[in-house]
Amino acid sequence: MMNLRNSFPEKSEDEIRRTCKEFYRYFCDLFLETFKTLTISRGAMLRHCRFNPSGKLLIDNLADEGRSFIIVMGHQGNWEWAGNTFSLLCRHQLYVIYHPLSNKYFNSLLYKMRTRFGTKLIAMKDTFRDMVNNKNELNATAFIADQTPPPDKAYWMNFLNQDTPVFMGAEKIARKMKYPVVYVSAEKEKRGYYRLHAELLSSPPFDEPDGEIAMLYTKRLENDIIKQPPTWLWTHKRWKHKRKQ
Protein backbone atom coordinates (compact mmCIF):
# COMPACT_ATOMS: atom_id res chain seq x y z
CA MET A 1 0.00 0.00 0.00
CA MET A 2 2.85 2.39 0.80
CA ASN A 3 4.50 1.69 -2.57
CA LEU A 4 1.21 2.26 -4.39
CA ARG A 5 0.44 5.50 -2.55
CA ASN A 6 3.89 6.91 -3.27
CA SER A 7 3.83 5.82 -6.91
CA PHE A 8 0.35 7.16 -7.67
CA PRO A 9 -0.16 10.26 -5.51
CA GLU A 10 -2.93 11.40 -7.85
CA LYS A 11 -5.10 8.35 -7.07
CA SER A 12 -7.73 8.31 -4.33
CA GLU A 13 -7.46 5.94 -1.39
CA ASP A 14 -10.30 3.85 -2.84
CA GLU A 15 -8.40 3.52 -6.13
CA ILE A 16 -5.24 2.50 -4.28
CA ARG A 17 -7.09 -0.16 -2.30
CA ARG A 18 -8.73 -1.48 -5.46
CA THR A 19 -5.37 -1.73 -7.22
CA CYS A 20 -3.91 -3.49 -4.18
CA LYS A 21 -6.74 -6.03 -4.21
CA GLU A 22 -6.26 -6.61 -7.95
CA PHE A 23 -2.52 -7.04 -7.38
CA TYR A 24 -3.01 -9.82 -4.80
CA ARG A 25 -5.42 -11.59 -7.15
CA TYR A 26 -2.80 -11.43 -9.90
CA PHE A 27 -0.05 -12.48 -7.46
CA CYS A 28 -1.94 -15.64 -6.45
CA ASP A 29 -2.48 -16.49 -10.13
CA LEU A 30 1.24 -15.93 -10.77
CA PHE A 31 2.18 -18.57 -8.18
CA LEU A 32 -0.17 -21.11 -9.74
CA GLU A 33 0.94 -20.27 -13.28
CA THR A 34 4.60 -20.62 -12.32
CA PHE A 35 4.10 -24.06 -10.76
CA LYS A 36 2.04 -25.09 -13.79
CA THR A 37 5.31 -24.86 -15.73
CA LEU A 38 6.19 -28.27 -14.29
CA THR A 39 3.44 -29.98 -16.29
CA ILE A 40 2.19 -27.62 -19.02
CA SER A 41 2.58 -28.87 -22.60
CA ARG A 42 4.49 -26.93 -25.25
CA GLY A 43 1.30 -26.22 -27.17
CA ALA A 44 -0.53 -24.94 -24.09
CA MET A 45 2.46 -22.80 -23.14
CA LEU A 46 2.40 -21.06 -26.52
CA ARG A 47 -1.36 -20.54 -26.35
CA HIS A 48 -1.08 -18.85 -22.97
CA CYS A 49 2.02 -16.75 -23.68
CA ARG A 50 2.71 -15.53 -27.21
CA PHE A 51 4.88 -13.00 -29.00
CA ASN A 52 3.66 -9.81 -30.59
CA PRO A 53 4.56 -10.24 -34.32
CA SER A 54 6.82 -7.16 -34.42
CA GLY A 55 8.74 -8.34 -31.36
CA LYS A 56 9.27 -11.79 -32.82
CA LEU A 57 10.44 -10.21 -36.10
CA LEU A 58 13.03 -8.13 -34.22
CA ILE A 59 14.47 -11.23 -32.56
CA ASP A 60 14.39 -13.22 -35.80
CA ASN A 61 16.30 -10.42 -37.55
CA LEU A 62 18.98 -10.48 -34.84
CA ALA A 63 19.25 -14.25 -35.33
CA ASP A 64 19.55 -13.85 -39.11
CA GLU A 65 22.40 -11.39 -38.50
CA GLY A 66 24.09 -13.80 -36.08
CA ARG A 67 23.91 -11.26 -33.26
CA SER A 68 23.63 -12.19 -29.60
CA PHE A 69 21.92 -9.64 -27.37
CA ILE A 70 20.90 -8.69 -23.85
CA ILE A 71 17.29 -8.70 -22.64
CA VAL A 72 16.14 -6.34 -19.89
CA MET A 73 12.81 -7.03 -18.18
CA GLY A 74 10.89 -6.21 -15.02
CA HIS A 75 8.91 -8.27 -12.54
CA GLN A 76 5.76 -7.56 -14.48
CA GLY A 77 3.19 -9.88 -16.07
CA ASN A 78 4.50 -13.44 -16.04
CA TRP A 79 8.25 -13.16 -16.56
CA GLU A 80 8.68 -16.91 -15.96
CA TRP A 81 6.39 -17.82 -18.86
CA ALA A 82 8.11 -15.20 -21.00
CA GLY A 83 11.35 -17.19 -20.74
CA ASN A 84 9.60 -20.43 -21.65
CA THR A 85 7.98 -18.90 -24.74
CA PHE A 86 11.25 -17.36 -25.86
CA SER A 87 13.06 -20.71 -25.60
CA LEU A 88 10.30 -22.50 -27.51
CA LEU A 89 10.06 -20.00 -30.37
CA CYS A 90 13.45 -18.31 -30.79
CA ARG A 91 16.73 -19.51 -32.25
CA HIS A 92 18.89 -17.84 -29.62
CA GLN A 93 19.91 -19.93 -26.62
CA LEU A 94 18.33 -18.11 -23.67
CA TYR A 95 20.30 -17.57 -20.46
CA VAL A 96 18.58 -16.05 -17.43
CA ILE A 97 20.55 -14.36 -14.64
CA TYR A 98 19.25 -15.50 -11.25
CA HIS A 99 19.96 -15.58 -7.52
CA PRO A 100 20.36 -19.22 -6.34
CA LEU A 101 18.16 -19.91 -3.30
CA SER A 102 19.69 -21.02 -0.02
CA ASN A 103 17.04 -23.76 0.34
CA LYS A 104 18.38 -26.58 -1.85
CA TYR A 105 14.96 -28.19 -2.42
CA PHE A 106 13.27 -25.01 -3.63
CA ASN A 107 16.35 -24.02 -5.63
CA SER A 108 16.22 -27.39 -7.41
CA LEU A 109 12.49 -26.99 -8.05
CA LEU A 110 12.97 -23.49 -9.44
CA TYR A 111 15.83 -24.69 -11.63
CA LYS A 112 13.66 -27.49 -13.03
CA MET A 113 10.78 -25.12 -13.81
CA ARG A 114 12.98 -22.55 -15.53
CA THR A 115 15.01 -24.98 -17.64
CA ARG A 116 12.26 -27.39 -18.74
CA PHE A 117 11.88 -25.84 -22.20
CA GLY A 118 15.58 -25.27 -22.86
CA THR A 119 16.38 -22.09 -20.94
CA LYS A 120 19.73 -22.11 -19.12
CA LEU A 121 20.52 -20.26 -15.89
CA ILE A 122 23.54 -18.20 -14.84
CA ALA A 123 24.16 -17.38 -11.18
CA MET A 124 24.48 -13.62 -10.76
CA LYS A 125 28.03 -13.85 -9.38
CA ASP A 126 29.15 -15.66 -12.56
CA THR A 127 27.38 -13.40 -15.06
CA PHE A 128 30.24 -11.74 -16.94
CA ARG A 129 32.54 -14.77 -16.86
CA ASP A 130 29.86 -17.09 -18.25
CA MET A 131 28.81 -14.58 -20.91
CA VAL A 132 32.41 -14.35 -22.12
CA ASN A 133 32.60 -18.15 -22.20
CA ASN A 134 29.37 -18.28 -24.25
CA LYS A 135 30.28 -15.54 -26.72
CA ASN A 136 30.83 -17.92 -29.64
CA GLU A 137 27.22 -19.16 -29.64
CA LEU A 138 24.06 -17.32 -30.68
CA ASN A 139 22.44 -16.41 -27.38
CA ALA A 140 20.32 -13.94 -25.45
CA THR A 141 20.97 -13.17 -21.78
CA ALA A 142 18.03 -11.93 -19.72
CA PHE A 143 18.38 -9.56 -16.78
CA ILE A 144 15.34 -8.99 -14.55
CA ALA A 145 16.70 -5.57 -13.73
CA ASP A 146 14.14 -3.82 -11.51
CA GLN A 147 15.38 -4.99 -8.12
CA THR A 148 17.14 -2.71 -5.63
CA PRO A 149 20.89 -2.29 -6.29
CA PRO A 150 23.49 -1.08 -3.78
CA PRO A 151 22.90 2.68 -3.69
CA ASP A 152 26.57 3.62 -4.19
CA LYS A 153 26.79 1.61 -7.45
CA ALA A 154 23.44 2.64 -8.93
CA TYR A 155 22.20 5.13 -11.50
CA TRP A 156 19.67 7.40 -9.78
CA MET A 157 16.55 8.68 -11.54
CA ASN A 158 12.87 9.46 -11.04
CA PHE A 159 10.77 6.29 -11.31
CA LEU A 160 7.08 6.21 -10.37
CA ASN A 161 7.36 9.64 -8.74
CA GLN A 162 10.24 8.60 -6.48
CA ASP A 163 14.03 9.02 -6.45
CA THR A 164 15.13 5.50 -7.38
CA PRO A 165 18.45 3.62 -7.72
CA VAL A 166 18.67 1.56 -10.93
CA PHE A 167 20.97 -1.37 -11.75
CA MET A 168 23.78 -0.54 -14.15
CA GLY A 169 24.98 -4.13 -14.58
CA ALA A 170 23.13 -4.96 -17.81
CA GLU A 171 24.21 -1.70 -19.44
CA LYS A 172 27.86 -2.09 -18.42
CA ILE A 173 28.02 -5.68 -19.70
CA ALA A 174 26.29 -4.72 -22.96
CA ARG A 175 28.96 -2.08 -23.57
CA LYS A 176 31.79 -4.52 -22.77
CA MET A 177 30.33 -7.36 -24.88
CA LYS A 178 29.12 -4.98 -27.64
CA TYR A 179 25.65 -6.58 -27.51
CA PRO A 180 22.38 -4.84 -28.48
CA VAL A 181 19.95 -4.25 -25.61
CA VAL A 182 16.31 -5.31 -26.08
CA TYR A 183 13.48 -4.46 -23.69
CA VAL A 184 10.90 -7.24 -23.33
CA SER A 185 7.57 -6.87 -21.55
CA ALA A 186 4.82 -9.38 -20.74
CA GLU A 187 1.42 -7.73 -21.11
CA LYS A 188 -1.51 -9.48 -19.44
CA GLU A 189 -4.30 -9.92 -22.01
CA LYS A 190 -6.72 -11.71 -19.69
CA ARG A 191 -6.50 -14.12 -16.78
CA GLY A 192 -3.82 -16.71 -17.61
CA TYR A 193 -2.88 -15.21 -21.00
CA TYR A 194 0.07 -12.93 -21.84
CA ARG A 195 1.52 -11.22 -24.92
CA LEU A 196 5.25 -10.50 -25.18
CA HIS A 197 6.56 -7.28 -26.71
CA ALA A 198 10.19 -6.63 -27.67
CA GLU A 199 11.83 -3.31 -28.50
CA LEU A 200 15.42 -2.51 -29.43
CA LEU A 201 16.70 0.09 -26.94
CA SER A 202 20.29 0.51 -28.07
CA SER A 203 22.99 -1.05 -30.25
CA PRO A 204 26.77 -0.73 -30.50
CA PRO A 205 28.70 1.54 -30.78
CA PHE A 206 26.59 2.99 -27.92
CA ASP A 207 26.88 6.73 -28.42
CA GLU A 208 24.66 7.41 -25.38
CA PRO A 209 26.24 8.68 -22.13
CA ASP A 210 26.57 6.28 -19.20
CA GLY A 211 23.21 5.61 -17.58
CA GLU A 212 21.16 6.41 -20.67
CA ILE A 213 20.37 2.76 -21.46
CA ALA A 214 19.37 2.07 -17.84
CA MET A 215 17.13 5.15 -17.95
CA LEU A 216 15.51 4.09 -21.24
CA TYR A 217 14.73 0.62 -19.87
CA THR A 218 13.34 2.00 -16.61
CA LYS A 219 11.11 4.49 -18.42
CA ARG A 220 9.72 1.73 -20.66
CA LEU A 221 8.96 -0.35 -17.56
CA GLU A 222 7.33 2.65 -15.87
CA ASN A 223 5.02 3.12 -18.86
CA ASP A 224 4.03 -0.56 -18.73
CA ILE A 225 3.34 -0.37 -14.98
CA ILE A 226 1.16 2.71 -15.43
CA LYS A 227 -0.71 0.87 -18.20
CA GLN A 228 -1.35 -2.21 -16.01
CA PRO A 229 -0.64 -1.30 -12.35
CA PRO A 230 -1.78 -4.58 -10.72
CA THR A 231 0.70 -6.72 -12.69
CA TRP A 232 3.97 -5.45 -11.16
CA LEU A 233 5.60 -6.87 -8.02
CA TRP A 234 4.47 -4.26 -5.49
CA THR A 235 5.48 -6.37 -2.48
CA HIS A 236 9.17 -5.78 -3.26
CA LYS A 237 10.92 -3.17 -1.09
CA ARG A 238 11.99 -1.23 -4.15
CA TRP A 239 12.66 2.08 -2.37
CA LYS A 240 14.48 0.95 0.78
CA HIS A 241 17.58 3.02 -0.06
CA LYS A 242 17.94 6.80 -0.14
CA ARG A 243 20.45 8.72 -2.20
CA LYS A 244 23.44 9.98 -0.24
CA GLN A 245 23.58 13.75 -0.14
- Chain mean pLDDT for the chain: 96
pLDDT digits (tens, 9 = 90+) for 170-204: 999 999 999 999 999 999 999 999 999 999 999 99
Q: Give the confidence band of 100 by pLDDT, cuts at 50, 70, 90.
A: confident
What's the rounded Cα separation, in Å, for the pair 231 and 77? 5
pLDDT of 42: 97
Class of domain 2-231: alpha beta
Beta bridge partners of 122: 97
Name the nearest CA neighbour of 138 among 88, 65, 81, 50: 65
Domain regions of the chain by residue span: 2-231
What's the rounded Cα separation, in Å, for the pair 83 and 96? 8
146 Cβ neighbours under 8 A, 6+ residues apart: 73, 74, 75, 76, 167, 218, 221, 238
Going by their DSSP bridges, the two strands 193-202 and 181-190 should be labelled as: antiparallel
Q: What is the pTM of this model?
A: 0.95
Q: Give buried/exposed letters for 47-60 (b at 16+ CB in 10 A, else e).
A: ebbbbeeebbebbe
Going by their DSSP bridges, the two strands 139-144 and 69-73 should be labelled as: parallel
220 Cβ neighbours under 8 A, 6+ residues apart: 183, 185, 199, 201
pLDDT of 170: 96
Tally the C-alpha atoms within 13 A of residue 200's C-alpha that lie toward its C-beta.
17
pLDDT digits (tens, 9 = 90+) for 41-74: 999 999 999 999 999 999 999 999 999 999 999 9
